[in-house]
Amino acid sequence: GINAEYGEPVAKVELHVLNQCVVPKEQTARKPSAYVSIERDAEIQEARLQLPILGEEQVIVEKVTENDIVVIVGATGSGKTTQVPQFLYEAGYSSDFIPGLIGVTEPRRVAAITTCQRVKRELNVPCVSYQIRYEGNVTEDTRNKFMTDGIFLRELQSDLLLTKYC
């Protein structure tokens, strides 16, 4: 595909599950399968289909379901940050079947806010929120939470197991 923002070819996304980095979950800890139907605008859906990561959706969801840690590597503009949270939401993460938040970190405040706004527009649901220092729109209904690295580290200090997240 072509990165619309930069007009350059986008490299294929690669999913690396390394034995040294991935801790397989116990069979009893497998998450049930679920599916959340999303109605997207046709223009948004067409743009999503151009992203290289879309071809890896099933594999990514399977690997996340089967493993505690998965590392996704891809070029800038391949869709990692905006699409993976949507894959997980549609696969039932952060639902009644798999409770908890889907968390996404960004190094900068502006990136956390703009990525949140884009995913919220693409998913067409109100449950996508952001949290940055001194500002945020997270509610009890939030399912996808975009935050700065600093907010994530602060949460980690008070909840080492990140029990709010799925």
Contacts 24+ apart (CB under 8 A), 24-27: 24/66, 24/67, 24/68, 25/66, 25/67, 25/68
How many Å apart are CA 87 and CA 89, to the nearest integer? Answer: 6
Strands 128-132 and 144-148, sheet pairing: parallel
Model confidence at 7, in pLDDT bands (50, 70, 90)?
low
**What's the confidence (pLDDT) of residue 97?**
80
Question: Can you tell me whether residue 96 is helix, strand or coil?
Answer: coil
**What's the confidence (pLDDT) of residue 19?**
43
Taking each helix axis from N to C terminus, what angle separates 80-90 and 57-66, rounded to the nearest 10 degrees? 70
pTM reported for the whole predicted model: 0.79
pLDDT in tens, 143-162: 999 999 999 999 999 999 99
Q: State how far the alpha carbon of 12 is from the alpha carbons of 7, 52, 120, 129, 155, in Å.
A: 16, 5, 25, 29, 33
**What's the confidence (pLDDT) of residue 43?**
93
User: Per-residue pLDDT for 2 more than 70?
Assistant: no
User: Per-residue pLDDT for 137 more than 90?
Assistant: yes
Strands 144-148 and 102-106, sheet pairing: parallel
**What's the confidence (pLDDT) of residue 33?**
65
pLDDT in tens, 9-49: 555 666 555 444 444 444 435 555 678 888 889 999 999 99
**What's the confidence (pLDDT) of residue 18?**
45
- Going through the chain in order, the beta strands assigned E by DSSP cover 2-3, 8-9, 14-16, 71-73, 102-106, 128-132, 135-136, 144-148
pLDDT in tens, 68-112: 888 888 888 899 999 999 999 999 999 888 889 999 999 999 999
